[in-house]
């Protein structure tokens, strides 16, 4: 009887489905455990070997926890709204609902191949009206709430209305301090009394309330591509033109929905201390939130009524300000620029308009333009030139900075480039060649701050600014409110109706507000979404934007707990039972997007009394990214000749026999017909319907050697490897274990299929402990020896520890060691093997279940009890110590574990080899670390 993995895997997958082996109940005496995967976007390309890495890890852990006696929730679903389906629809005319459904079927088939223990009764799809009904419902919760800064939590907006009616907004200032109801920008915040509130019209009241809502409508800049009639991500803009088609892209202000996540900034920071995310992940989140404290300062602009408001974290350096830098998109620049600089300013603004935010931030070249205007230093009256430059972004702080070149590297480079004289306020701490951002220096040339240490001067400066009404203390966040609308079709419609320019909540009884079926997905007029093309939609004055991809994914982990409920998003009893996700596995690419939004939504639902916890994920495990290892061929420009990699002088040039230089094109080839680096010439010629059938090759040593590069795994780079092929060839158990054996889950690594044989051999070797090809059954019911028990218990200990700390790769190697040792002992005893199967079943569930039943068990191994480790079997009385002389290991010595320091010293000094190394000298010190090592210091 041999290991026939194909029939075994089919048999058990069918059996588990038949018996509902993975069904999970919301009621159980066992303790609960919730293991969650980041659900996939069902792309048309299907699953590649990178996807299952995290899924296998979570599957192993779920099965492990089940063996340990937990009631484990381990669901799966699909993040099914999104841009790719819409773009596919635009190009191929297939409705997103249709292609998405097809893709999901395909994903499901691929997932099923691998033998995951998901409870599929709990599947969710974000594009399902039964699901997005509740996404819309949560949106309405956000829309109808405000953040009460006194209680530090979200409350119904009706409470705010009551407060306004009774006492106005003095106690609840408008979050956006520059908001005014009618007048253009004024200095003082917008405050009204109860009486004034009552005199406001309905539209005015609604306009004010919008300023407080957690989901609100405002105006924001986007990358606008006129030719495509659509908004583009920074990603899709390259050098000022669209990636698709190469059309020009400009900045455009559009009406947008936002989530007021900035109100939660402090709580999002605080919550980090209560959850187990890696330090780097927490650091990324806090950097994203970017809390800083400093001051906003108003500078009078010379010859204008206007003031220039800047935000700075270093008010202590105010006497070192040599110039101002303003974000080029601020409108008022046009009012203050001087006549002679007017043209230059306009040209510069046009240049910046064409650049994405990403490009602006990544720019090494220093660019900028003097406006011709001057600000006046309020303390010493110095006139300070006002510049504009792309490195200052409108969205952060006030969109303007005061530049102190002696203390800030970027400012210094700017001053150097434009030859602006630098004022030194830190004496010898500034060397004139580079900035010094110290806070320890004693200030000079700094008026009333002279002689103070900088970090103390900060407080003094702020107090003076406030006392003189020039500035205020200000805490700032780099994080901006989250843009929450998209001018797209394939997303959740907003449950919002517009009446005379005011947005009103769609009645809850009308949810879900279903996405209408359309035939065309073209963008609407004036940068509106495709929904603006639908007369019935527009006639009802419904919002034509849709929600972004992260809407549905911000709360899906709650829906799994109670997926079929039509009355509430999740029954309170269910969410109280399951509580937080105990283990969440997914990639770091979601560090700041999805993970912050989910945390915010959970906090809002908690504040409003819908949940009993305010952090969704107790522990996060980051899986590394499986990268593709791409292969390239090099074609001489304008010919059909392909040159082997080793013959090129660089990636772009080839020097032929006559020493003529040729430029070459670097072309991706499908990794599936490259063996290592050697191209299969025939397969290449047949590729893509014979596109390269006429290819000629310039070979080296008779071979065509390809170039290689590690990149994201993607269909367009021809570097994807399909798990189905590997499962077909080696079986799901081998595939699962191989993915784990590749290395630590957290680590990113390029995929390499070679090596999978080793894991497959291991499973065959395990099988041979039970069945021999010639002799048939070899397992017996004999009693196990101490040596065999020692092997088993060593494995129990290590597998348990490694699984618990997610070190799956070392667990796989422990299985290999265990089977190697049992083979060596010729151990085929049921007592030992049965326990080993339980250890193995989370990793290789199919073969374990089969052999388990072959041993005569009538119930599934899924519900076996995890073996108990007995330390008695591992007891050692002595240890082979490495003995080092001066830190270099020279010999090994077996000593009892009981020996004392004195005894060790005596034994060591008596040893001939030690004496040889001592060369007659006396040792200074003998270091003895019990159970570790001995070091003799000479």
Partner RNA sequence: GCCCCGGUGGUGGAAUUGGUAGACACGCAGGACUUAAAAUCCUGUGACCCGCAACGGUCGUAACGGUUCAACUCCGUUCCGGGGCACCA
361-380: which residues touch RNA (CB under 7 A)? Answer: 361-364
Cβ 278 to RNA shortest distance, Å: 7
Task: State the pairing for strand pair 583-587/32-37.
Answer: parallel
d(CA 327, CA 399): 5
Interface with RNA includes 106 (CB under 7 A)? no
Q: Are 602 and 614 contacting, i.e. CB atoms less than 8 angstroms apart?
A: yes
User: Mind giving me the DSSP string for 872-886?
Assistant: GGG--SEEEEEEEET
Part of the chain binding RNA (CB under 7 A), chosen from 197-205, 481-489, 497-505, 603-611: 481-489
With contact defined as beta carbons under 8 Å apart, do 320 and 446 qualify?
yes
Single out the residue of 269, 284, 855, 909 in contact with RNA (rule: CB under 7 A): 284
The stretch near RNA (CB under 7 A) out of 197-205, 509-517, 566-574, 737-745 is 737-745
Residue 931 Cβ vs RNA, minimum distance, rounded to whole Å: 8
Contact with RNA (CB under 7 A): which of 112, 123, 236, 665? 236
Q: Write each residue from 860 to 889 as x if it is in contact with RNA (CB under 7 A), else as -, in one continuous string.
A: --------------------x-x-x-xxxx
Q: Does 542 bind RNA (CB under 7 A)?
A: no
What are the two backbone dihedrals, phi and then psi, of residue 913, each rounded to the nearest 5 degrees? -65, -40
- Residue 937 near RNA by CB under 7 A: yes
Q: Name the nearest CA neighbour of 648 among 661, 630, 631.
A: 661
Separation of alpha carbons 315 and 296, rounded Å: 9
Tell me the closest approach of the beta carbon of residue 696 to RNA, in angstroms.
Answer: 29
Residues 570-589, interacting with RNA (CB under 7 A): 588-589
Range 762-821, binding RNA (CB under 7 A): 762, 764-765, 798, 801-802, 805, 807, 809-810, 812-813, 816-817, 820
Of 144 and 913, the one with the shorter C-beta distance to RNA is 913
Q: Which of 161, 254, 269, 344 binds RNA (CB under 7 A)?
A: 254
Task: State in angstroms the smallest separation of the CB of 413 from RNA.
Answer: 10
Q: Is 242 among the residues that bind RNA (CB under 7 A)? A: no
Q: Does residue 222 touch RNA according to CB under 7 A? A: yes
Q: Show Cβ contacts of residue 314 under 8 Å, excluding neighbours closer than 6 positions.
A: 294, 404, 407, 454, 458
Q: Does the footprint of RNA cover residue 855 (CB under 7 A)? A: no
Give the number of other CB atoms < 10 A from CB of residue 162: 11
Shorter beta-carbon distance to RNA: residue 129 or 923: 923
Q: Of 78 and 606, which has the nearer Cβ to RNA?
A: 78
Is residue 191 a contact partner of residue 179, using CB atoms and an 8 Å limit? no
Site string for RNA, 711-730 (x = CB under 7 A): xx------------------
CB 803, min distance to RNA, A: 11
For residue 23 the two structure tokens come to 């069904």
Tokens encoding 274: 């209560």
How many residues does this entry show for the chain?
938
CB of residue 532 to RNA, shortest distance in Å: 14
Is residue 256 involved in binding RNA (CB under 7 A)?
Answer: yes
Question: For residues 585-614, which are near RNA according to CB under 7 A?
Answer: 588-593
Size of the site for RNA (CB under 7 A): 104
In sequence order, the 6+-apart residues with CB closer than 8 A to the CB of 95 are 89, 517
198, 161 Cβ separation under 8 angstroms: no
Cis? peptide before 233, omega within 30° of 0? no
Residues 376-415 that bind RNA (CB under 7 A): 396
- 768 to each of 655, 735, 763, 764, how far by Cα in Å? 57, 20, 9, 6
435 is a contact residue toward RNA (CB under 7 A): no
Which residues have a Cβ under 8 Å from the Cβ of 823 and sit 6 or more positions away? 765, 768, 769
Residue 460 or 592 having the CB closest to RNA: 592
**Strand duo 776-777 + 771-772: pairing:** antiparallel
CA dist., res. 313 & res. 476, Å (int) = 9
E strand or H helix at 624: none
Return the H-helix or E-strand segment holding 933: strand 933-937
The values of phi and psi at residue 738, to 5°, are -65, -40
Least distance CB 737 / RNA (angstroms): 10
Q: Which long-range contacts (CB under 8 A, 24 or more apart) does 95-98 make?
A: 95/517, 96/127, 96/489, 96/490, 96/521, 97/127, 97/517
Maximum Cα interatomic distance, the chain, rounded to a whole number of Å: 102
Nearer to RNA among residue 182 and residue 365 (C-beta): 365
CB neighbours of 886 closer than 8 A, spacing ≥ 6? 935, 936, 937, 938
DSSP assignment of 669-732: E-GGGEETTEE-HHHHHHHHHHTTTT-EEE-BTTB-BPEEEEEE--GGGT----HHHHHHHH-H
Distances (CA, A) of 241 to 87, 391, 691, 867: 18, 20, 30, 62
Closer Cβ to RNA, 283 or 347, answer by number: 283
User: What residues between 46 and 105 interact with RNA by CB under 7 A?
Assistant: 79, 81-84
Encoded one letter per residue, x for contact with RNA by CB under 7 A and - for no contact, window 888-927 reads xxxxx--------------------------------x-x
Q: What mask, x for binding RNA by CB under 7 A, covers residues 668 to 707?
A: ----------------------------------------
Q: How far is the CB of 589 from RNA (least distance, A)?
A: 4
State the binding string over 317-356 for RNA (x if CB under 7 A, else -).
----------------------------------------
Which lies closer to RNA via its Cβ, residue 657 or residue 774? 774
**Which window, 186-194, 280-288, 494-502, 696-704, contacts RNA (CB under 7 A)?**
280-288
Parallel, antiparallel or unpaired: strands 250-259 and 215-225: antiparallel
């Amino acid at each position: 009887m041999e290991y026939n993995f194909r029939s075994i895997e089919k048999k058990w997958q069918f059996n588990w489905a038949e018996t509902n082996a993975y069904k999970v109940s919301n009621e159980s005496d066992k303790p609960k455990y919730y293991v969650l995967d980041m659900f996939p976007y069902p792309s048309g390309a299907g699953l590649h070997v990178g996807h299952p890495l995290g899924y296998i890890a979570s599957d192993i852990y779920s099965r492990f926890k089940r063996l340990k006696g937990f009631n484990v929730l381990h669901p799966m679903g699909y993040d099914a709204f999104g841009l790719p389906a819409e773009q596919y629809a635009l190009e191929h005319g297939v409705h997103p609902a249709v292609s998405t459904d097809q893709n999901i079927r395909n994903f499901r088939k691929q997932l099923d191949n691998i033998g995951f223990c998901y409870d599929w009764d709990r599947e969710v799809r974000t594009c399902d009206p039964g699901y997005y009904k509740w996404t819309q419902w949560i949106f309405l919760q956000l829309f109808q709430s405000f953040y009460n800064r006194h209680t530090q939590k979200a409350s119904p907006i009706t409470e705010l209305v009551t407060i306004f009616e009774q006492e106005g907004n003095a106690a609840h200032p408008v979050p956006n301090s520059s908001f005014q109801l009618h007048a253009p920008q004024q200095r003082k915040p917008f405050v009204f009394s109860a009486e004034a509130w009552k005199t406001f019209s309905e539209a005015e009241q609604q306009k004010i309330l919008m300023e407080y809502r957690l989901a609100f409508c405002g105006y924001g800049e986007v990358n606008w591509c006129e030719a495509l009639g659509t908004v583009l991500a920074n990603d899709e803009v390259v050098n000022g033109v669209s990636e698709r088609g190469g059309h020009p892209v400009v900045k455009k202000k559009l009406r947008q929905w936002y989530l007021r996540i900035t109100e939660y900034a402090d709580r999002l920071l605080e919550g980090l201390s209560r959850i187990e995310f890696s330090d780097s992940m927490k650091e990324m989140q806090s950097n994203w939130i970017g809390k800083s404290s400093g001051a906003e300062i108003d500078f009078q602009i010379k010859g204008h009524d206007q003031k220039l408001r800047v935000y700075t974290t270093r008010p202590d350096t105010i006497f070192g300000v040599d110039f101002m830098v303003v974000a080029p998109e601020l409108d008022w620049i046009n009012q203050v620029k001087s006549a002679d600089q007017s043209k230059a300013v306009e040209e510069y603004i046009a240049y910046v308009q064409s650049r994405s935010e990403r490009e602006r931030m990544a720019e090494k070249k220093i660019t900028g333009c003097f406006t011709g205007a001057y600000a006046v230093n309020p303390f010493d009256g110095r006139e300070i030139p006002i510049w504009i430059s792309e490195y200052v972004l409108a969205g952060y702080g006030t969109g303007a900075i005061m530049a102190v070149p002696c203390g800030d590297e970027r400012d210094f480079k700017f001053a150097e480039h434009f030859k602006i004289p630098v004022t030194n306020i830190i004496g010898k701490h500034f060397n004139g060649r580079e900035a010094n951002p110290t806070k320890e220096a004693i200030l000079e040339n700094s008026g009333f701050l002279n002689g103070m240490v900088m970090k103390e001067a900060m407080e003094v400066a702020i107090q003076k600014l406030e006392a003189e009404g020039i500035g205020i203390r200000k805490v700032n966040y780099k994080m901006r409110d989250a843009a929450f609308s998209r001018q797209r079709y394939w997303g959740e419609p907003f449950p919002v109706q517009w009446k005379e320019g005011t947005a009103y909540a769609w009645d809850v009884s009308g949810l879900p507000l279903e996405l209408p079926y359309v035939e065309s997905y073209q963008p609407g007029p004036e940068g509106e979404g495709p929904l603006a093309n639908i007369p019935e939609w527009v006639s009802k004055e419904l919002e034509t934007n849709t929600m972004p991809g992260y809407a549905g994914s911000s709360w899906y982990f709650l829906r799994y707990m109670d997926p079929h409920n039509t009355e509430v998003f999740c029954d309170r009893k269910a969410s109280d039972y399951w509580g937080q996700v105990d283990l969440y596995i997914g990639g770091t690419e979601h560090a700041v997007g999805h993970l912050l939004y989910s945390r915010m939504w959970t906090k809002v639902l908690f504040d409003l009394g819908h949940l009993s916890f305010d952090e969704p994920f107790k522990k996060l495990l980051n899986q590394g990214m499986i990268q593709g290892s791409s292969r390239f061929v090099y074609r001489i420009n304008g010919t059909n000749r392909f040159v082997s990699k080793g013959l090129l002088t660089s990636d772009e040039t080839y020097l032929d026999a006559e020493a003529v230089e040729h430029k070459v094109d670097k072309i991706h080839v499908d990794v599936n017909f490259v063996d290592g680096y050697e191209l299969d010439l025939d397969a290449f010629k047949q590729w893509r319907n014979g596109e390269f059938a006429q290819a000629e090759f310039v070979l080296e040593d008779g071979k065509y050697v390809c170039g290689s590069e590690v990149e994201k795994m993607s269909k367009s780079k021809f570097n994807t490897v399909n798990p189905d092929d590997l499962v077909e060839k080696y079986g799901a158990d081998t595939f699962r274990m191989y993915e784990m054996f590749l290395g630590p889950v957290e680590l990113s690594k390029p995929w390499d299929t070679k090596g999978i044989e080793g894991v497959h051999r291991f499973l065959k070797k395990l099988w041979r402990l039970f069945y021999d090809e010639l002799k048939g059954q070899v397992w017996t019911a004999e009693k196990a020896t101490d040596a065999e028990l020692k092997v088993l218990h060593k494995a129990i200990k290590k597998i348990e520890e490694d699984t618990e700390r997610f070190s799956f790769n070392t667990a796989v190697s422990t299985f290999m060691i265990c089977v190697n040792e049992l083979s060596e002992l010729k151990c085929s005893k049921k007592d030992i093997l049965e326990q080993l199967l339980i250890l193995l079943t989370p990793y290789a569930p199919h073969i374990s279940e089969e052999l388990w039943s072959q041993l005569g068990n009538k119930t599934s191994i899924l519900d076996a009890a995890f073996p108990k480790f007995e330390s008695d079997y591992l007891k050692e009385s002595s240890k082979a110590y490495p003995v080092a002389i001066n830190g270099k290991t020279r010999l090994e010595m077996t000593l009892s574990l009981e020996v004392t320091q004195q005894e060790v010293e005596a034994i060591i000094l008596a040893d001939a080899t030690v004496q040889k190394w001592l060369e007659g000298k006396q040792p200074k010190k003998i270091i003895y670390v019990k159970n570790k090592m001995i070091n003799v210091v000479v």
